[in-house]
Chain A
């Protein structure tokens, strides 16, 4: 009988560190193909439509850009927090509250014009996201309440805030009873950067945010703090980095960026607040952060990969009638396989030959 055992590597493997995300994506395709074949779909077509059509069809590229932008911005914030072992799972809620804060500015300035409206909305979005993220930060640092639970549960509360506002105080007066806000004025809508497409200003902003985050994480004391707290909390304390301050910083950065993504999304593609605004970008960004190895540059790539599955999922719905949930299944499978494969970064599989151990015994 062949036996295997896991053996700790002397140093974490660089090959595996960057190889596992790729392997996870490839394995997801293979397993997804088998799974959808088994339940009666054309598995090969499903994988092709989800993973390749968005890339081969230039008409879909603009969709990729605008789907990837919020994923990259939120994923960047989460990668910073997760580096410090601060598990903000509620980016979706911070994204929603950020979007609502920006909506508030847009409605308050409705009918006005001026260059300052969009920056003001962006600041409101970030402050909204930060404020919402500071609830779990406060509960964690003061009462030691697990931030995973509080940040997650606050997401569901934030959805109710949307429903309340757009049915009540922010309801569109011209909306013939539809629960939605009024359409933002021109000055509160993100400009398109490529004429004739739907690609808005948020796309380059996402890339810039990730690049700045990469610089901050690798070159500054702030980034060092996040990395050392995550790698060895005891050593961080010895090095003079207080744990509570780190939790606050991590929650504020990830919440603020989620709020910024919410502002860009509501001022870009939506241009008004609607009940369907929450589209789980905040949750998908968790996968983006991990698939990108918690490295902002990796997050850019991972954001595009996840955007492909979103766009491809829609393609597959119309072409081969795959259910809407297929996208979620593929995304979850990817995260699952990635986390499972991660053990190979620190450990390697060794075969124990039975003859050798019998001979020695």
Chain B
């Protein structure tokens, strides 16, 4: 039996980078094949060429043994290739059925389409009401629409791009069941991820890319997560060094019944949130994206100014009605999730970006004049201490890769030695080596007596990094408990909104 998909010598050059360098591998019928690699390793480019969004500069794609040219996504679907993207393309105001109808190449009468959708959902256990409006659905349910949309075409190969990054552990388990059923019926699956334990649990084969090159094709069940991670990043991994049994200091950041006002139609506000972070403690806030994390960060950083001075206190001092500048002077620094355009200005030099948040704490302003020398020196220190790959303080923030920019931003805040640091997605899109460095810097900052809040969707990160954990769901925060007391299942249930057991506990 020929391979379902076979790539030989696929090469793709972009201005300045070789995104794929002679990549060759094969996917057998019914195989769940992982495509593994850091951000920027070339995974996305590779699948875009398989799905016809881009054309390779060189190399050959064989489909069921025959050489093919995939001119565009429509041609790919015609061959039997389906793809579920990381970012969904759904119209929030339309129903599930309408969204699926819009995505079909052929016009199908809506009654027939509905019965076909129901049949597919029945077969694979994908529960979903075709007449519900997308805006009312959870992220996991939205992903099911995309999967149903792909399955309606009876694909022989289904490409899943980072499908679990927004799902709760329970939703991940349901997804895996669907994928295993599909594979058992002979549909091949190309599964893109950087979550190693998922790949170990799900996949038959893993192809690892690094810097556009194929590093290894291996059986993930024979490998450890660590060995695969080291192949992915190319060097040994460092563990977080954490002092054991250190007692926490007195309460530093106390949040008491904090609420925000909903700003946009699809925004989720923070609703009556209370928690305490002690000196030396790292508190993790877990949750599925879009459950009020952004509002929580804005309310803590001062971008959203509340009307209760005592709702947020640092060392007992009320800062709830202060703006970001005043809060920074009180020792609270924050890093929002979005790097470019929020945490940093792409068109500005790194030096000028340091002025954005460090100008008052580090005396970069004298009588309204900016001391550009001080900004430059500080920026140079951030670049050196956090191993930021940049030409120097004069490089524009926009010219840095996502991971390097994140290292710079985290360094800019951490080296200010804030007494309270609030960060959202500190290692999102950052390679494993850099992520380890950022984690270590956060641990060291806490060890020096700061209180830290880490808002993240990455459970592995939170479990490795944090001392205590709380879960945010629809703007409400669960009680805080030591991270060791949580099982993955329990966190998952909380992320999905099951609060009852927690509140009585």
8 A Cβ contacts from B350-387 to A? 352, 355-357, 359, 365, 368-370, 372
Q: Is A360 touching B341 in the complex (CB atoms < 8 A)?
A: no
A219 CB contact (under 8 Å) in B15, B69, B369:
B369
8 A Cβ contacts from B278-335 to A? 301-303, 323-325, 328, 334
Q: Is A231 touching B345 in the complex (CB atoms < 8 A)?
A: yes
Choose the segment among A40-48, A172-180, A234-242, A308-316 that binds chain B (4+ C-beta atoms closer than 8 Å).
Answer: A234-242
Closest to A10 in B: B399
Residue B418 at the chain A interface, CB threshold 8 Å: no
Q: Is B369 touching A235 in the complex (CB atoms < 8 A)?
A: no
Closest to B336 in A: A238
How many residues of chain B are within 8 Å of chain A by beta carbon? 38
Residue A220 at the chain B interface, CB threshold 8 Å: yes
- With both chains docked as a complex, state the minimum distance between the C-beta of A219 and any C-beta of chain B, in angstroms: 6
Q: Is B347 touching A231 in the complex (CB atoms < 8 A)?
A: yes
Residue A1 at the chain B interface, CB threshold 8 Å: no
B345 CB contact (under 8 Å) in A221, A232, A242:
A232
Q: Is B399 touching A239 in the complex (CB atoms < 8 A)?
A: no
What are the residues of chain A within 8 A of B69 when measuring CB–CB?
A: 361
Q: Is A235 touching B370 in the complex (CB atoms < 8 A)?
A: no
Residue A318 at the chain B interface, CB threshold 8 Å: no
Q: Is A228 touching B348 in the complex (CB atoms < 8 A)?
A: yes
Complex formed: what's the CA distance from A228 to B347 in Å? Answer: 9
B398 CB contact (under 8 Å) in A11, A242, A357:
A11
A361 CB contact (under 8 Å) in B16, B55, B343, B370:
B55
Residue B342 at the chain A interface, CB threshold 8 Å: yes
B347 CB contact (under 8 Å) in A12, A234, A361:
A12
Closest to A241 in B: B325
Q: Is A234 touching B57 in the complex (CB atoms < 8 A)?
A: no
Which of A11, A221, A232, A235 counts the most B-chain CB atoms under 10 A from its CB? A235
Q: Is B355 touching A235 in the complex (CB atoms < 8 A)?
A: no
Which of B324, B328, B399 counts the most A-chain CB atoms under 10 A from its CB? B324
Closest to B327 in A: A240
- With both chains docked as a complex, state the minimum distance between the C-beta of B458 and any C-beta of chain A, in angstroms: 22
Q: Is B347 touching A224 in the complex (CB atoms < 8 A)?
A: no
B338 CB contact (under 8 Å) in A220, A221, A224, A234:
A234
- With both chains docked as a complex, state the minimum distance between the C-beta of B337 and any C-beta of chain A, in angstroms: 11
Q: Is B399 touching A235 in the complex (CB atoms < 8 A)?
A: no
Q: Is A237 touching B368 in the complex (CB atoms < 8 A)?
A: no
B396 CB contact (under 8 Å) in A11, A228, A238:
A11
8 A Cβ contacts from A1-16 to B? 7, 10-12
Contacts A12-B347, A228-B345, A232-B342 given; indicate if A238 touches B55 (C-beta within 8 A). no
What band does the interface of chain A fall in when counting residues whose beta carbon is under 8 Å from B?
A: 20 to 34
Q: Is B370 touching A237 in the complex (CB atoms < 8 A)?
A: no
Q: Is B399 touching A360 in the complex (CB atoms < 8 A)?
A: no
Closest to B328 in A: A240
Closest to B303 in A: A237
A357 CB contact (under 8 Å) in B55, B303, B338:
B55
Residue A222 at the chain B interface, CB threshold 8 Å: yes
Count A-B contacts at CB 8 Å: 73
- With both chains docked as a complex, state the minimum distance between the C-beta of A141 and any C-beta of chain B, in angstroms: 16
Closest to A234 in B: B342
Residue B344 at the chain A interface, CB threshold 8 Å: yes
Q: Is B342 touching A235 in the complex (CB atoms < 8 A)?
A: yes
8 A Cβ contacts from A36-74 to B? none
Q: Is B370 touching A242 in the complex (CB atoms < 8 A)?
A: no
Residue B56 at the chain A interface, CB threshold 8 Å: yes
Closest to B342 in A: A234
Q: Is A235 touching B345 in the complex (CB atoms < 8 A)?
A: yes
Residue B433 at the chain A interface, CB threshold 8 Å: no
B324 CB contact (under 8 Å) in A221, A222, A238:
A238
- With both chains docked as a complex, state the minimum distance between the C-beta of A248 and any C-beta of chain B, in angstroms: 16
8 A Cβ contacts from A302-361 to B? 357, 360-361
Closest to A9 in B: B15
Closest to A228 in B: B345
Closest to A239 in B: B356
B369 CB contact (under 8 Å) in A7, A12, A220, A242:
A220
Contacts A221-B370, A239-B324 given; indicate if A11 touches B399 (C-beta within 8 A). yes
Closest to A216 in B: B368
Q: Is B16 touching A10 in the complex (CB atoms < 8 A)?
A: yes
Residue B169 at the chain A interface, CB threshold 8 Å: no
Q: Is A361 touching B324 in the complex (CB atoms < 8 A)?
A: no
What are the residues of chain B within 8 A of A239 when measuring CB–CB?
A: 324-325, 356-357
Closest to B49 in A: A360
What are the residues of chain B within 8 A of A219 when measuring CB–CB?
A: 369-370, 372
- With both chains docked as a complex, state the minimum distance between the C-beta of A161 and any C-beta of chain B, in angstroms: 36
Residue B346 at the chain A interface, CB threshold 8 Å: yes
Q: Is B303 touching A238 in the complex (CB atoms < 8 A)?
A: yes
Q: Is A222 touching B357 in the complex (CB atoms < 8 A)?
A: no
Q: Is B359 touching A221 in the complex (CB atoms < 8 A)?
A: yes
Complex formed: what's the CA distance from A222 to B336 in Å? Answer: 24
Complex formed: what's the CA distance from A10 to B69 in Å? Answer: 31
Closest to A346 in B: B347
Q: Is A235 touching B325 in the complex (CB atoms < 8 A)?
A: no
8 A Cβ contacts from A222-258 to B? 222, 224, 227-228, 231-232, 234-235, 237-240, 242
A228 CB contact (under 8 Å) in B338, B356, B365, B372:
B356
Residue B218 at the chain A interface, CB threshold 8 Å: no
Complex formed: what's the CA distance from A72 to B268 in Å? Answer: 48
Q: Is A240 touching B324 in the complex (CB atoms < 8 A)?
A: yes
Q: Is B343 touching A224 in the complex (CB atoms < 8 A)?
A: no
Complex formed: what's the CA distance from A37 to B410 in Å? Answer: 61
Q: Is A234 touching B328 in the complex (CB atoms < 8 A)?
A: no
Complex formed: what's the CA distance from A224 to B357 in Å? Answer: 12
Contacts A228-B356, A232-B345, A235-B341 given; indicate if A240 touches B323 (C-beta within 8 A). yes
Residue B104 at the chain A interface, CB threshold 8 Å: no
Complex formed: what's the CA distance from A33 to B341 in Å? Answer: 43
What are the residues of chain B within 8 A of A237 when measuring CB–CB?
A: 303, 324
- With both chains docked as a complex, state the minimum distance between the C-beta of A257 and any C-beta of chain B, in angstroms: 19
Contacts A224-B370, A240-B328 given; indicate if A235 touches B344 (C-beta within 8 A). yes
Q: Is A242 touching B323 in the complex (CB atoms < 8 A)?
A: yes
Q: Is A221 touching B346 in the complex (CB atoms < 8 A)?
A: no
8 A Cβ contacts from B54-93 to A? 55-57, 69, 71
Complex formed: what's the CA distance from A232 to B69 in Å? Answer: 42
A222 CB contact (under 8 Å) in B56, B343, B352, B368:
B368
Complex formed: what's the CA distance from A228 to B357 in Å? Answer: 12
In the A-B complex, list the 4 residue pairs whose CB atoms are closest, starting with the nearest.
A240-B325, A360-B55, A239-B356, A240-B324
Interface residues of B (CB under 8 A from A): 15-16, 55-57, 69, 71, 301-303, 323-325, 328, 334, 336, 338, 341-348, 352, 355-357, 359, 365, 368-370, 372, 396, 398-399
Can you report 19 residue pairs joining A to B where beta carbons are below 8 Å apart?
A7-B15, A220-B368, A220-B369, A220-B370, A221-B369, A221-B370, A228-B345, A228-B356, A232-B345, A232-B346, A234-B338, A235-B356, A238-B343, A238-B357, A240-B323, A240-B324, A242-B323, A357-B55, A360-B56
13 additional contacts, CB 8 Å, given A234-B338, A237-B324? A11-B399, A224-B355, A232-B346, A232-B347, A235-B341, A235-B356, A238-B301, A240-B302, A240-B323, A240-B324, A240-B328, A360-B56, A361-B55
Interface residues of A (CB under 8 A from B): 7, 10-12, 219-222, 224, 227-228, 231-232, 234-235, 237-240, 242, 357, 360-361
